[in-house]
Structure 1
């Protein structure tokens, strides 16, 4: 099974949004049994909490379930359990690669999967308040990740 872990700072806005959006895309493609998805934060402030209300509201608006998603902190076993660790910004990239330098080849920025974007990172709506901007980037990035997985793992379309 192919596995993807989305990582942000507190695991209540961006990475759970990405987990829910990617899970939704996998279900639409009939790949939910072939690709595992989860999310985590580099910090421990929100462990056990559901996604931020702004994330919940936005996902509801788009008909995307966030059921079962609760904040957790990235763990050492994540570096061997997941094929792809997808981070939201440079701080996440630095923190994740510092935890396990051997896994650095599997750590990627979400924006790297968005063609022709000028964004260098996914803005944190916890601070910006713009959940729609984050959603649009997450949606495009998840589509790009799915395209990459199709190509790299020779999955049938």
Structure 2
């Protein structure tokens, strides 16, 4: 089983959307038993809910219930257990590698692993309107489909 963790800043927008969308994709393909998927934030406040707009976009656009999600701060046990760590920005990746250099071979910016070479950061929709969250979620979905092809 491959253990994957998605990481963003607060674990209330991008990484929980990525986690939920990836779980949905692998369930549709019938390969959910091949993966253990979770998310965390580098500056998360444990037990914070997903942002309102993330919940709404996931419900309306993906038919996914994000209400049960609770933020989790990333820690050493997450790093140790993960086979792959996908970050939303280069800053997140660099921060993890600075603190956990032994994890450098399994930490990737999501866009980088998906094969993109420019504009590697997934834009943070925090505090933005519905359309920005929708665009972010759609971008993440496209990236995850490319990532899955490489796994």
Is the shorter-chain TM-score for this pair beyond 0.5, marking a shared fold?
Answer: yes
Alignment of 1:11-90 (within 5 A): 11-44=11-44, 46-61=45-60, 62-66=62-66, 68-90=68-90
**What is the aligned-residue RMSD (CA, Å)?**
1.7
For residues 73-99 of structure 1, give each alpha carbon's deviation from its aligned partner in whole angstroms, at most 9, with x where no partner exists: 001011221100000012211211112
Alpha-carbon distance, 1:113 to partner? 3.8
Bigger shift: residues 118-127 or 18-27:
118-127
Structure 2 SS opposite 1:39: strand
Q: TM-score, normalised by structure 2?
A: 0.90
Quote the Cα distance in structure 2 between the aligned partners of 1:110 and 1:57: 23
| 1:137 aligned residue | 139
Alpha-carbon distance, 1:116 to partner? 5.7
Q: Is the Cα–Cα contact under 8 Å of residues 90 and 121 in structure 1 kept in the other structure?
A: yes
C-alpha spacing 1:145/1:51, structure 2 compared with 1 (3 Å): same
Quote the Cα distance in structure 2 between the aligned partners of 1:117 and 1:59: 28
| 1:147 aligned residue | 149
Structure 2 SS opposite 1:126: coil
Structure 1 residues not aligned, in runs of 5+: 150-157
Aligned positions, number: 148
Q: TM-score, normalised by structure 1?
A: 0.87
Structure 1 SS opposite 2:103: helix
Bigger shift: residues 101-110 or 119-128:
119-128
Structure 2 SS opposite 1:55: helix
Quote the Cα distance in structure 2 between the aligned partners of 1:34 and 1:69: 22
